[in-house]
Amino acid sequence: MALKVSLRNKKVVVVGAGGSGLAAARLAVRAGAHVTINDLARKDPADMPEGVETHFGGHPDELFRTADLIVLSPGVPPLAPVARAEETGVEVVAEVELALRFLDAGIGAVTGTNGKSTTVSLLGELLAATGRPAFSGGNLGTPLSDVADTPAGGPDGLIALELSSFQLEHITSLNSRVAALLNLTEDHLDRYDSFEHYCRTKLNIFQNSPQALVYNADDPLVVAGVAGVGAPKHGFSVLGTDTAFHLDGGELVFSDWSLRFPTRDMKLTGRHMMANALAAVGSALLMGVPPGLVGPVLADFGGLPHRMSYCGEVRGVRYYDDSKATNVGSVEGSLAGWESPYVLLLGGRHKGAPYTPLIPVLKKRCRAVVVLGESAALIRADLERDLPVHDAASFDDAVHLAAALAQPGDAVILSPACSSYDMFDNYKQRGARFAELVHQLLGGS
């Protein structure tokens, strides 16, 4: 497919040589730009896309000052040389912003502190069920830049787009058919100077007034945030029945489409997953997905790995991997409706928020908390007056200690409320190690 935008002879610097950065570089090359990939870490040039130059090991002012366009990968922290170049008039955009300039597809954009990946994955399945070219990704999975010259990016395409706060920092061209805000809780305070700053960044998803807005009516911060947005609003709720999309007893209800779906027929479980399903299906219906396609997709959708994934049962104790729960709000959502006693593994790299908001939900069912990683002392200080807290010397030790503390009928849950970077490359590696240790316990049972 021919690209709708030309960058012919433009000097483009892509910062960050991860998946999103490489995708942006490939797109810019295809659009005719002279591309330099810049990263603080030294990378193997053989792994770089054809037709690009590289500059590894630092961020020199001259590289950015002479650029026509700077493209930032989502994980890149604020850089002084980039800020100085921007002050002189050099345009700075996020990778997703670069991609949006090349797209003609109908977009369902989703953000929020928690639940984005599950919601976008389900929305993507619903869009694909129409038979039209469809894509789901962005922050999750495939970068948006890889879709620009595919049928899914064209006029007949449909896109379910996950947007993190990082991706929403330098974005101006989002014209979504539907924009959804799932929730707002404290996260990434190691990057933002305040929670208010983080929330303002999330609200960038509503720029250019989407055709329809989907929001969590159970979250007061979300309700306040969308109040001034000039777009038709559609709330979802698992606590009340006066919104467009809601949970009524054992059914998901979408009133305007006379659609009801029994939750007993779903593989997803838990109140937070019902909220994700309401947002995804509501967004799909607003994007034109026929109601008759919803039931089979919803019944078949089993969620994503590392989101309260069942790993096995050892001596009457069930083990769950919720490694994707990297902030306090996510852990609260996962455990709010938990019915059996459990031992909770908490800890990793601290993200700036206190752990005291967990106390009310943990006091209901939590038998003990095992703390680990860099944040262990902080978590202990916040929780030990209200809950039994045990220290682990390592990740493996934490799992074995939790197994020893649990009793038949209990669960052991890895839901860390922290990032994984103190011990692992990412949350997936952390979850995989947890599952591996559970399988070892199974072998010895």
Scored b (16 or more CB within 10 A) or e, 213-233 reads bbbbbbbebbeebbeebebeb
Mean pLDDT is highest, among 65-69, 301-305, 348-352, for 65-69
Kindly give the residue spans of alpha helices, DSSP state H, lying in 58-216: 61-65, 80-87, 95-100, 116-128, 195-202
The percent of residues above 70 in pLDDT, for the chain, comes to 99
Torsions phi, psi for 223 (to 5 deg): -60, -45
Burial, 421: exposed, middle or buried (Cβ in 10 Å; 0-12, 13-18, 19+)? Answer: middle
| pLDDT attached to residue 23 | 96
Distance CA 416, CA 19 (A): 25
CB 217, CB 236: distance < 8 Å: yes
pLDDT, tens digit (0-9, with 9 covering 90-100), for 379-396: 999 999 999 999 999 999
Q: Is 116 a catalytic residue?
A: yes
Per-residue model confidence (pLDDT) at position 232: 96
Tokens of 19: 């998946």
**What is the reported pLDDT for 108?**
99
Q: Among this protein's residues, is 426 annotated catalytic?
A: no
Taking every pair of C-alpha atoms in the chain, what is the biggest distance, in angstroms? 67
Instruction: Please compute the mean of the pLDDT values over residues 202-230 and round it to a whole number.
Output: 96
Quickly state the pLDDT bin for 444 (edges 50, 70, 90). Answer: low
Distance of CA 200 to the CA centre of its chain: 17
Residue 170 to residue 172: CA distance in whole angstroms: 7
Worst-scoring range by mean pLDDT, 186-195, 241-250, 253-262? 186-195
Q: What is the pLDDT of residues 402-420, one digit of tens each?
A: 999 999 999 999 999 999 9
Catalytic residue, from 34, 116, 246, 350: name it.
116
- Rounded Cα distance between 349 and 341, Å, is 26
Q: What is the pLDDT of residue 258?
A: 95
Question: Which residue of the set 139, 183, 276, 327 is catalytic?
Answer: 139
Question: Which pLDDT tens digit goes with each residue over 353-386?
Answer: 899 999 999 999 999 999 999 999 999 999 999 9
Return the pLDDT at 107. Answer: 98
Band of pLDDT at residue 168, cut at 50, 70 and 90: very high
pLDDT for 7 equals 97
Tokens 């309260």, residue? Answer: 308
Q: Is the pLDDT of residue 92 over 90?
A: yes
133-139 average pLDDT score: 94
Q: What is the pLDDT of residue 2?
A: 67
- Beta 106-111 vs 178-181: how paired, if at all? parallel
**Mean pLDDT, the chain, whole residue set:** 94
pLDDT value at 294 more than 90:
yes
Catalytic residue among 34, 170, 188, 324: 188
Average pLDDT (235-264) is: 96
Q: Decide if 188 is catalytic.
A: yes
**pLDDT over threshold 70, residue 99:** yes
Token duo for residue 356: 């005291």
- Is the pLDDT at 1 greater than 70? The verdict is no
Query: Domains in the chain, please, with CATH?
Result: 11-96 (3.40.50.720), 103-300 (3.40.1190.10), 309-443 (3.90.190.20)
